[in-house]
Amino acid sequence: MRVFKRMSYDRQTPVFNIGMVSQLCGIPIWTLRWIEKHELVSPLRTGGNQRLFSEEDLEVLRDIHDLMAQDVNLPGIRVILKMRQSSYKRVIVNRRKKK
């Protein structure tokens, strides 16, 4: 019997390949490549150059998908994502200070 070492897993662990992400987010693969090309998301690359996405990447991709559906252009998406990231970081810092 073969026993594998248990891998630690959190929201930042890249485990989803591009096909799975496409199905989970409803975004065509070519659009995922376009999003990566424009540096909105930076998935991890394996030794074989395969893209792996984390749960956090999936959340960002779902936000991008919603913004694109609302006809927000690329610069607008960048601004909105930066605003959301900074507000998310502030919430985490405030939660830590309260503890």
Alpha-carbon torsion (44, 46, 48, 52), positive or negative: negative
Q: What pLDDT, in 10s, does the model give residues 41-55?
A: 999 999 999 999 999
pLDDT of residue 89: 56
Domains and CATH numbers, the chain: 18-98 (1.10.1660.10)
Contact 53, 14 (CB under 8 A): yes
At residue 64, the 3 state secondary structure works out as helix
pLDDT of residue 84: 85
Among candidate residues 31, 44, 42, 45, the one with its CA nearest the CA of residue 74? 31
Among candidate residues 62, 12, 64, the one with its CA nearest the CA of residue 38? 64
